[in-house]
Amino acid sequence: MKSNQDTPLLLRKHRTEEWIGRGYTTICVLFLIVIIISIVYFVATKGISTFAIDHVSLSEFLFGSTWSPDDNKFGALPFIYGSFLTSLLAALIASPLSVCAALFMTEIVPNWGKKVLQPVVELLAGIPSVVYGFIGLSILVPFLRSTFPGQGIGVAAGAIVLSIMILPTITSIATDALSALPRNLKEASYGLGATRWQTIYGVILPTVLPSVLTGVVLGMARAFGEALAVQMVIGNAPHIPTSLFESASTLTSVITLNMSNTVMGSVQNNALWSMAMILMLMTFVFVFVVRLLERRHKL
């Protein structure tokens, strides 16, 4: 349709447009890469300086259970332990609840269940973490204090608050997996005379298990990194707790408590950065596990 004379011009115009488009989008991607490299670089250099410059031994940091910066004791085990304990407990509480919610929406009352629960779950995801902390401190802690031994504040309070926070993550992934199931799978089971529970237990759950696990790991990752809500209800004693109703600390809670009180470059401040580095490394681990699960899921 275009005459031959126009072609070079059109081509040139094309080429400029292409350049602009390609250049612009490439810069955006470069920005992403620059960001991640600088985060890793800065957090790692700060985190490593505890060991390289201040000569705190790595094994003491990872396995020492005494955190007493005044006496130059930087054992971070209580915090690492606290982080793992609370996020594991939160996942333990939230997973069955989430799976139930997902089943409710897809298997039991698919027509109106989704209409009621879906917005509820999305809202739960949208409530800011400070509000969770506020509610935890105002309702949950007094309740635990009057019902169980201890002061209400402690590991249990932290785990419960976290479990509500990660519930939406697990639920939405489980729901997606359940709705993606081929229909004939279920119909075959029902056709064989199986009850709904037998179908769920024998056919549906084993099929969606890898996806549900992905959700659980993502939920744990979120719980592991959550800071303010946990810090408000966990009590923050730098010790390994012996009871669920005892005050304990997580990596995030000790960072939020002490970061602004310490001077940059001091050993204690560097030790906090080392904990931030552990949080960062754990993120890599969580992402890696999720990828592994997804790969198995695809096979």
Partner 1 sequence: MKLKKSFLLTLTLAFAVSLAACGNKDNSSGSTTTDTTNKPTSETTALSGSILASGSTALQPLVEQVGKKFMDKNTGVSIQVQGGGSGTGLTQVSGGQVQIGNSDVFASEKMKDEAAAKELVDHQVAVVAIAAVTNPEVGVTNLTKQQLVDIFTGKITNWKDVGGKDQAIVIVNRPSSSGTRATFEKFALGTKTEDLKGSIQEDSSGTVKKLVTETPGAIGYLALSYLDDKVKAVQYEGVDATVDNVVSGKYPVWAYEHMYTKGEPDATTKAFLDYFMTDEVQNGDVVELGYIPASKMQVKRDEAGNVTK
Partner 2 sequence: MKPKAADKLATGIIVFFALLIVAVLLGMLGFILFRGLSHIDWHFLTSEPQTIREGGGIGPQLFNSLYLLILTMIITIPLGLGAGIYMAEYAKPNRLTDAIRLIVEVLSSFPSIVVGLFGLLVVVQQFDFGFSLFSGAIVLTIFNMPLMVRVTEQAFRSVPKEQKEAGLAMGLSKWKIITSILFPVALPIIVTGTILAAGRVFGEAAALLFTAGMTTPHINFSDWNPLHAASPLNPFRPAETLAVHIWKVNSEGLAPDAIQIAAGASAVLVIMVLVFNLLARWLGRALYRKFTSIK
Chain residues binding partner 1 by CB under 8 A are 19, 22-23, 26-27, 30-31, 67-70, 137, 141-142, 145, 151-153, 232, 235-239, 241-242, 246-247, 249, 254, 257-269
Q: In whole angstroms, what is the distance from residue 123 CA to residue 15 CA? A: 47
**Candidates 62-70, 105-113, 146-154, 235-243 — which segment interacts with partner 2 by CB under 8 A?**
105-113
**Candidates 10-18, 181-189, 204-212, 239-247 — which segment interacts with partner 2 by CB under 8 A?**
10-18
**Candidates 145-153, 183-191, 194-202, 207-215 — which segment interacts with partner 2 by CB under 8 A?**
194-202
Q: How far is the CB of 253 from partner 1 (least distance, A)?
A: 9
Residue with token string 């809500």:
229
CA distances from 111 to 116, 204, 263, 292 (A): 10, 19, 58, 34
Residue 190 interacts with partner 2 (CB under 8 A)?
Answer: no
Q: Residue 195 binds what, of partner 2, partner 1, none (CB under 5 to 8 Å, by partner type)?
A: partner 2
Of 41 and 66, which CB lies nearer to partner 2 in the complex structure? 41
Tokens in use for 222? 């979120």
Contact characters 206-225, partner 2, x per CB under 8 A: ------------x--xx-xx
Half-sphere exposure of 3 (CA within 13 A, CB side): 2
Residue 113 interacts with partner 2 (CB under 8 A)?
Answer: yes
Buried b (16+ CB within 10 A) or exposed e, 37-71: eeeeeebbebbebbbeebebeeebbeebeebebee
Contact characters 124-163, partner 2, x per CB under 8 A: x-xxxxxx-xxx-xxx------------------------
* Count of other CB atoms within 10 angstroms of residue 162: 31
> Of all residues in the chain, what percent are helix, strand and coil, respectively (each to 5)?
80, 0, 20
